[in-house]
Amino acid sequence: SAVISQKPSRDICQRGTSLTIQCQVDSQVTMMFWYRQQPGQSLTLIATANQGSEATYESGFVIDKFPISRPNLTFSTLTVSNMSPEDSSIYLCSVGQISGNTIYFGEGSWLTVV
């Protein structure tokens, strides 16, 4: 499986600010996704990051709050905008190959909003 690197791994953010999380993969991948994992909870898909076009968002997630970019097959960013304490979560980048079956996760970015 690919090596997935996320930055930052952890951050404490002020309410009302925005933070961009980067996801870098060591090989080209067909599919990239962003998940959210709230403390002690399961994983929820935020959106599919589409190369060169707008991301596909799941119900309950909007582009204004979670803008996503994917300029190429190895890199994506997720911005959490106008943060509130409710946004305190682990944000996980995941990748997969459309020729395969499953997805693999990065180590996650743990955000705490104060």
Partner 1 sequence: QQQVKQSPQSLIVQKGGISIINCAYENTAFDYFPWYQQFPGKGPALLIAIRPDVSEKKEGRFTISFNKSAKQFSLHIMDSQPGDSATYFCAASSSADSWGKFQFGAGTQVVVTP
> Which residues contribute to the site for partner 1 (CB under 8 A)?
1, 4, 31, 33, 41-45, 48, 56, 92, 94, 96, 98, 101-108, 110
Q: How far is the CB of 96 from partner 1 (least distance, A)?
A: 5
Closest among 22, 17, 9 to 74, alpha carbons compared: 22
Residue 41 beta carbon to partner 1: minimum distance, rounded to whole angstroms: 8
* CA-based nearest residue to 32, from 12, 14, 53: 53
Judged by beta carbon, residue 5 or residue 81, the one nearer partner 1 is: 5
